[in-house]
Amino acid sequence: MAHWVKIQYERQEYIVDLDQVSAFACSPNGRVTFWLPDSSIPIILTRQGNGDDYDKVLNFVHSLKSSSLLGYWIHLCYDRSEYWVDLNRISSFCYTPNSKLTFWLPDASIPIILTKQGDPESYSKLRDFIIRKTGQKIP
């Protein structure tokens, strides 16, 4: 089921199906960022600049469940921001012998690098997802 919203951003109106967005980022300074599907264009909303649109997107983000009909969402804290990422839309992962797991945000090309020590819960969720999805073993 589509979740269409109309958003005013940089003097333009965008009509976006939030169900098609693969990642959202919320920074401590009150910004919500997402990348338009099939594009690398970021939409950055603030409560001061886009109050209603900011609330629409933030409410949608907070309604995401870990495993839903539309994806497998993971919530993690990374680089002083909170991210919600649909792991089903990730098409490559990188594992290094020093126990780092890396993936790139779809439509944004931003790397997310997780370690066991830095965020054990998210690391474990990502590792388990990779094993289930790909069948590949990760130590």
What pLDDT, on the 0 to 100 scale, is given for residue 108? 87
Structural contact between residues 52 and 60, judged by C-beta atoms closer than 8 angstroms = no
- State the Rg of the chain over Cα: 15
DSSP 87: G
What pLDDT, on the 0 to 100 scale, is given for residue 68? 60
On whether the pTM is more than 0.85, the answer is yes
Q: Specify which residues 34 forms β-bridges with.
A: 24, 43
User: How confident is the model over 49-105, as pLDDT tens digits?
Assistant: 888 999 999 999 988 875 565 678 999 999 899 999 999 999 999 999 888 999 999
Residue owning tokens 């338009």:
36
What pLDDT, on the 0 to 100 scale, is given for residue 53? 94
